[in-house]
Amino acid sequence: MLSKCRWWRDAVIYQVYVRSFLDSTGDGIGDLAGVRAGLPYLKKLGVDGIWLSPFYPSPQHDHGYDVADYCGVDPLFGDLAEFDLLMAAARRLGVKVLLDIVPNHCSSEHPWFQEALASAPGSAARARFHFADGRGPDGAEPPNNWHSMFGGPAWSRVTEADGRPGQWYLHMFAPEQPDWNWRNQEVGAEFDRVLRFWLDRGIDGFRIDVAAGLFKHPQLPDSDDPEADARTRDSVNPLAWNQPEVHDVWRHWRTVCEQYTARDGRERLLVGEVSVPSAREHAKYVRPDELHQAFFFDLLSAPWDADAFRKVITEAMQDIAGTGSTVTWVLNNHDQVRTVTRYGEPATGCSGLGAARARAAALLMLALPGAAYIYQGEELGLPEVVDLPDDVLTDPIFRRTGSRARIRDGCRVPLPWSGQASPFGFTSGAESARPWLPQPSYFAEYATDRALADTRSFWHLYRDGLQLRAALPQLGEGTLDWLDAPPGVLGFVRGDGLVCAVNFGTAPTPAPVPGTPLLSSGPCPAGVLPGSTAAWWMSDL
């Protein structure tokens, strides 16, 4: 009973980036009915649940991470009735559903921000956000030197009712995403209402955007190192992120979830997007009375190197598992360069290298103790689309920095489902229907119908890995014991004799211990672990 109730501890969740998953209306943008149509595909893949990227009413400046109404569905994606149908279908199939909640900021079109703009400085409406007077003679300089994560200053100036330039408001992301002031009681109360609205509709939990955000230093002082803040998209400004008060919010949200669990025994999950400087800081977010899980991004950012992987896995196991939670492994999401491309080394001229490594990494992740998240399209081995023309790019980072470096459109290109030409079955519209981002012709090779028909595909590797994970008691939650392995090779045992080994090098090496093969990420002769390959087997020892 206990383990059933704590389903999330080793769950594998598939991230559905709704606008790029499947389009049921023919407008070139994926939607909730498309997600419902795709559920049997995901069930067949074997994931435990889905996380839906934001589908709320939004002007879409940051593809829904700019929320204008937290309790609705944007007509682009459907309506509440369609959401309820999706929930019912997911429930029938036994697929859990997590929603993406965005508490750090809203949209500049949110009614409360509009009210703040129309109200005077010092008003109660402005107190829900961070409004401040500017510096310099005419208040023409921002109130402090903080940078936005999307480039440029973190402040924008408003025009007051009399038509004159007035106060500034804080936005740690785009100007269209004003930050909430969590020191204002009304903000927390409003989010309670939002949580209950969706929990009452039967969801299984929330993925929490920017969960180390929310509170800022109360005096909003200058940062000592604004240049460092500007150089990185990571949350490095210690005055704007990871303030101690945020933990009270997660304690409170946990109690809200537990109230629902107390009614029906079904545990609701809170998983945070937590970007903080160390595994130790990260662990604070998953203390027993806070978030259930927090994405562990160090695996995603580790270079393809056995020692680097071993270090991040060891730290995670020590610091996070030490809280009583499980580690939440992540190799990809809608903000990152796709795995196949990230692990590729074009300079070597070896085109299959990135794919081989991505397959090995997937098998490694699925063998680690804890939970795992998979971004849509990774199960197809989709590469990043690196040559999108400037005029189709939508990422606000591109607009605000003028740079293509680290933009996020290339991993968000709509999925190919079938056929030889775009839209590859993504949209139910005419052949001429245009997906919101153009799909390259080579996506034909990755279409789901081809992947399902080819037992050597990424899809089959993921499916087989997920099936074994569900069947073998050694996998999922628990501990791992490292094996002695040659340099460049990682090997560990799970439970009663299940071995996972990964060869990070390119030359073959003997398998660390003998045994019976279960699954490998590439061809694997008996007793040998080829380069860029991971394998699972049952040890004979």
Active site residues: 209, 273
261: tokens are 């669990």
Q: Which is nearer to ligand NOJ, 173 or 459 (CB)?
A: 173
93 phi, psi to nearest 5 deg: -85, -10
Residue 202 burial (CB < 10 Å; 0-12/13-18/19+)? middle
Residues 118-157, mask of contacts with ligand NOJ (x by CB under 6 A): ----------------------------------------
State the residue number with the nearest CB to ligand NOJ: 65
179 binds ligand NOJ (CB under 6 A): no
Q: Which is nearer to ligand NOJ, 148 or 439 (CB)?
A: 148
Which residues, 6 or more positions from 160, have their beta carbon under 8 angstroms from its beta carbon? 120, 121, 166, 167
Identify whether the C-beta of residue 522 lies closer than 8 Å to the C-beta of residue 532.
Answer: yes
210 binds ligand NOJ (CB under 6 A): yes
Identify whether the C-beta of residue 214 lies closer than 8 Å to the C-beta of residue 101.
Answer: no
Q: How many residues bind ligand NOJ (CB under 6 A)?
A: 9
290 binds ligand NOJ (CB under 6 A): no
Q: Which is nearer to ligand NOJ, 62 or 409 (CB)?
A: 62
What does the alpha-carbon distance between residue 241 and residue 69 come to, in Å, rounded to a whole number?
Answer: 25
Q: Which is nearer to ligand NOJ, 39 or 149 (CB)?
A: 149
288 phi, psi to nearest 5 deg: -55, -25
Q: Which is nearer to ligand NOJ, 148 or 503 (CB)?
A: 148
DSSP letter assigned to residue 526:
T
Least distance from ligand NOJ to the Cβ atom of residue 313, Å: 23
Laid out side by side, the sheet with 165-170 consists of 131-132, 165-170, 155-159
Q: Which is nearer to ligand NOJ, 209 or 319 (CB)?
A: 209
Q: Which is nearer to ligand NOJ, 273 or 298 (CB)?
A: 273
Other C-beta atoms closer than 10 Å to the C-beta of 120 total 12
What does the alpha-carbon distance between residue 485 and residue 143 come to, in Å, rounded to a whole number?
Answer: 55
DSSP 158-217: EEPTTSSEEEEEE-SS-TTSPBB-TTSHHHHHHHHHHHHHHHTTT--EEEETTTT-S---
What does the alpha-carbon distance between residue 411 and residue 499 come to, in Å, rounded to a whole number?
Answer: 32
Least distance from ligand NOJ to the Cβ atom of residue 505, Å: 33
Rg (CA), the chain: 24
Q: Which is nearer to ligand NOJ, 385 or 451 (CB)?
A: 385
Q: Which is nearer to ligand NOJ, 72 or 495 (CB)?
A: 72
Least distance from ligand NOJ to the Cβ atom of residue 61, Å: 10
How far separated are the first and last CA of the chain, in Å rounded?
33
What does the alpha-carbon distance between residue 246 and residue 262 come to, in Å, rounded to a whole number?
Answer: 25
Residue with tokens 């049921």: 24
74 binds ligand NOJ (CB under 6 A): no
Q: Which residues pair with 535 in a beta bridge?
A: 501, 520
Least distance from ligand NOJ to the Cβ atom of residue 338, Å: 15
What does the alpha-carbon distance between residue 112 and residue 359 come to, in Å, rounded to a whole number?
Answer: 46
537 binds ligand NOJ (CB under 6 A): no
Cα 216 off chain centre by: 23
- What residue type is 144 in one-letter code? N
Least distance from ligand NOJ to the Cβ atom of residue 173, Å: 5
Cα 245 off chain centre by: 24
209 binds ligand NOJ (CB under 6 A): yes
398 binds ligand NOJ (CB under 6 A): no
65 binds ligand NOJ (CB under 6 A): yes
Least distance from ligand NOJ to the Cβ atom of residue 178, Å: 12
Least distance from ligand NOJ to the Cβ atom of residue 273, Å: 6
Per DSSP, the three-state class of 141 is strand
Which residues in 332-361 contact ligand NOJ (CB under 6 A)?
334-335
173 binds ligand NOJ (CB under 6 A): yes
Least distance from ligand NOJ to the Cβ atom of residue 408, Å: 7
Residues 35-64, mask of contacts with ligand NOJ (x by CB under 6 A): ---------------------------x--
Residue 224 burial (CB < 10 Å; 0-12/13-18/19+)? exposed
What does the alpha-carbon distance between residue 479 and residue 327 come to, in Å, rounded to a whole number?
Answer: 11
Least distance from ligand NOJ to the Cβ atom of residue 216, Å: 15
Q: Which residues bind ligand NOJ (CB under 6 A)?
A: 62, 65, 102, 173, 209-210, 273, 334-335
